[in-house]
A and B are shown apart, each in its own frame.
Chain A
Amino acid sequence: MTRTRPALPMILAAWTLMAGAAGAQDAPAAKDNITAARHENGRYYTADDVPTFNIAKDGTVDWMTYSGFRRYHSECHVCHGPEGEGSSYAPALKKSAITMDYYDFVEVVTNGRKKVNVAENSVMPAFGQNANVMCYLDDIYTYLKARGADALPRGRPGKKEPKSDAIRDTESDCLGH
């Protein structure tokens, strides 16, 4: 079930978001890496089928963004600082989620990355074997993207969409319990 044609209301919603967060563009066909083009069982995707966030006008965030907030502040913030802002130790991931391709992002989290030289001693560990990270990778990515796009302010998201059964089932399968 990929590339289902989105219903008209979704396109309108997407346009509102683009104008607010990513900046309006001229051509209606323009694809961006941020705007939600469709959703499926509580998850949102861009036109390129890359996970993304969805924040309603009243501030309600999608479940993945909310879940990503929690998982980020368990697994990532001890190095990367609060809310993807970066620290004296590691870069601001809210920027990486915007500037890096989704698949590169996944690759770095899974396999790690080293920058060790005279000026830098930065090592991102490989989280490929870590269920607490890998089972929530899209959640964390989605949250950071919302932060990087300035669509979500710092702090705990207030209102959130409910957790869908599909998300719950995927989580249980992934964690193995």
Chain B
Amino acid sequence: MKRLLTMLALMSIGGAQVALANPELQKQIDDPNQWAIQTGDYANQRYSKLDQINKDNVGKLQVAWTFSTGVLRGHEGSPLVIGDMMYVHTPFPNTVYALDLSKEGQIVWKYEPKQDPEVIPVMCCDTVNRGVAYADNKIFLHQADTTVVALDAKTGKVIWSVKNGDPSKGETNTATVLPVKDKVIVGISGGEFGVRGSVTAYSMADGKLLWRGYSMGPDSDTLMDPEKTTHLGKPVGKDSGTATWEGDQWKIGGGTTWGWYSYDPEENLMYYGSGNPSTWNPTQRPGDNRWSMTIWARDVDTGMAKWVYQMTPHDEWDYDGINEMILTEQQVDGKDRKLLTHFDRNGFGYTLDRVTGELLVAEKYDPTVNWATEVVMDPNSDQYGRPQVVAQYSTEKNGEDTNSTGICPAALGTKDQQPAAFSPKTELFYVPTNHVCMDYEPFRVTYTAGQPYVGATLSMYPPKDSHGGMGNFIAWDNKEGKIKWSLPEAFSVWSGALATAGDVVFYGTLEGYLKAVDAATGKELYRFKTPSGVIGNVMTYSHGGKQYVAVLSGVGGWAGIGLAAGLTNPNDGLGAVGGYSALSNYTALGGTLTVFSLPN
């Protein structure tokens, strides 16, 4: 079998379309007793069929056990559970623990990579890591220094290891990897260092590089076919990844790929988003800057792009397009459609046909979003699919060295990477959001490899005339493009949500609460304060016939940096500002896993 895998992998390099399913991995992911992939499933729905814990009894939830990770810093992602084993990861130094659930969480093995600490300061916004992946009895870890390592799931021994990037140029990693068929597909971070983004497929068996598709560059780099790859139904044309850039700026053009990846086995397509173009000063990069800020659909065997959709052409606000693409099968106008729903940093919630890339819905999922009036939905308009930018909030129009004020959302977006959940029972999306606005002043910067390449000054604050908090947790209808209910939160909600068949939705807050709410109404049913702020994602599993809910706490990340000291209030007048409620008054650093269950 191993030889066959290698042969088939070789064939796919040669360009042959090989559809080699991985039924064993699919079986692990489909088992609701486990949590075998960070995103819950390939569709990124973060929905569990478990219903032992439900809306009637979740109020009785209590802590079953806890585990200290031994690491400070921001803890994103979640543990995996496969059979009797739980795999827990940490931020840098990216330690991985294998815990035996049948022996009260005894540590079976611990893997701690040796990484040059020089990688720490080139990671924009904390040394987070969004977790390990599992396939073929291997645990895949993508370290901060871009080393992708395959560990023996039973022993923790290194099976293979490969370097995906160069941290001395600012190339780092924070994301998990997508295990699919005979490959692991990985991304890269470093948009604030002028890194050109890419996704790369490695052989699951031996780490051999199979294909790499860049976010910008000639067609041979972007893996685009000028005729067959489409943007909103039209061929992209030759070298579309350089055509909207001036000179060689695309070589340091950003469009990094540090978000979540989803996969549709029927279409054999993976979906992900690319990040901001580099620098943050729009005047230094005229043009649409394709294909930054773009939703991508790529064939997982060849890497070829089937379709793309650029949400924010020529970004002027750092609205990375990397947030997750959630795949659903729903009826639209009486017809079964294969949908892709995406909550972008730019404040629009998009619904697309994921087979064709057709744009169906684009509506604001926070009423304060003001940088654009709308996204044009008329296919006959020359503005089709483009956001209509409000001149007052255009940092490009206002120009270098001018401070554009009152832009909503702030650069951290109406939502960042913290993933939403979808319940097929309610057909609602449960979305953790930020409720923050900003001033943005771009200025000229020079590029030095491995050095920050930002080029804008930001200050952030809660929106005027709102509830005063900096976050909301909302339920969203992706067919109508409407908010069904919205729960105000004091801080940005930076934790991934979980929806379950028990009609409960879980999420964490920056103060450190795990909250459970009614999936239909949003009514709060339970809360518990964990040891630190939650920026991890809530997961669930069952062991020995009992359902558990688990979450990593450990404040940090962009939220810990931006909100630790509190924001300033623009309404207090020029210069005279007081600190808004500071996160540091509520929580402190420290990584802990907290596992909940119902009393016996």
Contacts and interface: CB of A to CB of B under 8 A. Distances in A.
Contacts of B579: 85, 154
Interface string B80-93: 00000000000011
Interface stretch (B38-46, B440-448, B472-480): B440-448
A124 B448 CA distance: 17
Nearest to A70: B457
Given A87-B560, A88-B564, A89-B126, A74 B117 contact: no
A129 B448 CA distance: 8
Contacts of B567: 82
Contact of A155 (B576, B583, B589): B576
Contacts of B121: 79, 112, 123-125
Interface string B111-151: 00000011011101111000000000000000000000000
A42 interface: no
Interface string B54-87: 0000000000000000001110000000000000
Interface string A93-113: 000000000000000000010
A157 B568 CA distance: 13
B308 interface: no
Interface in B423-469: 439, 441, 443, 445-446, 448, 451-460
Contacts of A133: 451
Given A79-B561, A121-B93, A125-B121, A154 B74 contact: no
B568 A78 contact: no
A89 B117 contact: no
- Size band of the B side of the interface? 35 or more
Interface of B: prevailing SS: loop
Interface centre among A124, A132, A157 (most CB of B within 10 A): A132
A175 B446 contact: yes
A39 interface: no
For A89, A129, A152, A153, which residue has the most chain B Cβ atoms within 10 angstroms?
A89
B452 A132 contact: yes
A74 B442 CA distance: 9
A87 B565 contact: yes
Given A132-B445, A132-B452, A175-B446, A158 B577 contact: no
Nearest to A61: B575
Given A70-B441, A125-B122, A78 B561 contact: yes
B125 A82 contact: no
A124 B118 CA distance: 9
A59 B443 CA distance: 25
B192 interface: yes
A85 B117 CA distance: 24
A18 B86 CA distance: 60
A89 B454 contact: no
Nearest to B442: A74
A156 B403 contact: yes
B254 interface: no
Interface in A111-159: 112, 114, 116, 119-125, 127, 129-133, 152-158
A113 B142 CA distance: 26
Interface of A: 59, 69-71, 73-75, 77-83, 85-90, 92, 112, 114, 116, 119-125, 127, 129-133, 152-158, 175-177
Given A88-B555, A124-B121, A132-B445, 5 more contacts: A74-B457, A86-B565, A90-B561, A132-B448, A156-B439
Across the A-B interface, give the 8 residue pairs with the lowest CB-CB distance, nearest first: A88-B560, A85-B565, A155-B577, A125-B121, A158-B574, A87-B561, A123-B120, A73-B457
